[in-house]
Structure 1
């Protein structure tokens, strides 16, 4: 958790730092000195000593409460001293002094309000980060026989936590991966993401077919919407897009995928980039609109050694530049891999997409963004079978022995 001691931290105070020390107090001091010097070097027709009231106002915007209070006292004191030095006929006297005193008091009160607002903002950011880390649990290196890397970027247009989610789950029938994006923001989206992740961790462990996992997720989303609507917290139009990946242990050169209203993942390897075939499954929560001809289609595609699956939420593909052009993810990644095949590794690939997305949109993301990359480890199993496969899982890949 972050703390703000006197209000000098936060957006303004963090910028005005040199070698870890706050230098926010320098700007008001320079202004104070400049006003006095200019007033002494100009004629009586150009008196700006009363401008000293601006000094506490500047301090209120960039300094802490105590720093602003010091300038609220220093400004009137400087005014009295400077005015007394002038010849009697040029002295402004009491009226401007009262103005400087009132300005200092108001500036200090304004600083108190600003600091409280910053503390509340930092607290809300910490709460949002805690919620996100609770929903998106940390994944051990090599979990499920996969090399993986992920990054989550919060949109600067929204201070609230979003509904992006991802996970890797080992199970009785291989390793399963999910990435999804719940429509909307706020706690409603987070609750939906948490519900879907809980169901995925159970179903991905036990279900033999990846399509059965998708059916379980659809039912869970419908139940969640029904409950939220009954509580008056939902209008019934919440949905989530998702991609499910399956890595069968007995088929190291193949990949199963179910695409539910989401952009198809990219397969990135030293030989180039190709998208998975587009899926035809509807987003989770809209299953009643699907034809009654069974579960969503299962894609079964070959996967060469060293190829990485790149999954992103729409914060990447919908990132726009200054002219409104979308970020060309596939073309950009293909060019990077052609120049350096090492970019195809999960960690480097995620870093590359993150930096290029931010560069394309000038750092102004329109939506929360998740970049997730996974690659099957060469010659390594999925972590199922003798150890875990003979146990009853609890949804986290940790099981208990059958009785």
Structure 2
């Protein structure tokens, strides 16, 4: 096992240089100022600073260093033995407290990290690995839950090779943490069953709405918050048109013939869980998906990403630039790398990106859906 929080610890050489620099400055000021006030005891706060930022070993080393410096400097300056012992004793006690405090901090951080990793691992198990292939399409992309956030979110996707065509789902649950993952499981379970049972795409979405309603009713009884789910469900067959039901999600992008544009869908319906607020039942919309085209679906971890100046990521502009030449085979990975470069940091929200192309336009790949 790695030492207590080494992943986030300060560089030891950099930390040592800082401690020595501060020590030299304080001791030199005390020696050359020739005042009655002794300054070396002020170094007692150095271990506390290290405890907040470094490892237990670094804190213990800083504490031992400060004790030696205080004792040696006061002896060199000719302080009485009692004063020297008193100052050194207090310095040692504060050093021990700093080490104990650092140990507690590191254990807490490790516990939180393990919980985040476990939740992220659970979240990864909800969805199947990409690529996925049906008789109609190949679905590729990437899915990255954020482990460094306070809690992971509820992004999800699924592909079903139903008797009525290929049904594709991408969705995002409101909120974060295990309750959001629970709602995601309910939505996925409803989709996986209804996609094969329901002849109409709106019937599939109605089944998902019922699942969210039941989940929210249970949450209310247990004192949790109700949640809504934005979702985009597609029905893709051999015909060049695609049916879509958009429940408050990001509309798909079509990349074809040197251009990229967002599919023209009707006004989005309300998210799942809010059907009671809708003016009427949900309806499907058709848009063109020509041979050789690629659809790109994503969650708001892409569209709501910002750079350091607060500007949103220009997704459509980037897609148009990539469409001028043959789009990269690894479009999702290219997009993810560009997104990280744009923000200058790792994503702060879960990111799900799906690319959908017709099976006839690409070679056979793994991940066959039964």
Q: TM-score range by the shorter chain?
A: 0.7 to 0.9
CA distance in 1, matches of 2:188, 2:272: 13
Change (3 A) 1:286 1:266: same
The change in CA–CA distance for 1:226 and 1:33 in structure 2 (over 3 A counts) is closer
Q: 1:221 offset after TM fit, Å?
A: 1.7
Corresponding residue for residue 394 of structure 1: none
The alpha-carbon distance between structure 1 residues 379 and 84, as it changes in their structure 2 partners (threshold 3 A), is closer
Unaligned runs of 5+ in 2: none
1:272 corresponds in structure 2 to: 259
TM-score using structure 2 length: 0.84
Q: What TM-score results when the alignment is normalised by the length of structure 1?
A: 0.78
**Matching residue of 1:392:** none
Q: What root-mean-square deviation, in Å, do the aligned CA atoms of Structure 1 and Structure 2 show? A: 3.4
Alignment partners' CA distance in 2, 1:179 and 1:11: 34
How far is the alpha carbon of 1:104 from its aligned partner?
Answer: 0.8
Give yes or no for the alignment of 1:122 onto 2:135. no
Structure 2 vs 1, CA of residues 66 and 320 (structure 1 numbering), >3 Å: closer, same or farther? Answer: closer
Q: After TM superposition, give the deviation of residue 23 of structure 1 in Å.
A: 4.6
Give per-residue Cα distances to partners, 1:140-165, cap 9 Å, x unaligned: 55466404112335397x41111211
1:26 aligns with 2:16: yes
- Aligned equivalents of 1:370, 1:379: Cα separation in 2: 23
Structure 1 gap ranges (5+): 17-21, 389-396, 399-403
Q: Where in structure 2 are the equivalents of 1:197-346 lying within 5 Å?
A: 197-234=188-225, 236=226, 238-248=227-237, 250-251=238-239, 253-279=240-266, 280-292=268-280, 296-321=282-307, 324-338=310-324, 340-343=325-328, 345=329
Identify which range, 127-136 or 313-322, moves more after superposition.
313-322
Whether the aligned pair in 1 keeps the contact of 2:153 and 2:175 (CA below 8 Å) is yes
Q: Give the match's secondary structure for 1:316.
A: helix
Tell me how far apart the structure 2 counterparts of residues 382 and 196 of structure 1 sit (CA, whole Å): 30
Shift of 1:136: 2.3
SS in 1 for 2:162: coil
1:179 match: secondary structure: strand
Alpha-carbon contact 1:10-1:118 (below 8 Å) kept? no
Give the number of aligned pairs: 365
Q: 2:7 aligns with which of 7, 10, 14?
A: 10
Aligned residue number for residue 374 of structure 1: 356
Q: Which moved more, 1:362-371 or 1:181-190?
A: 362-371
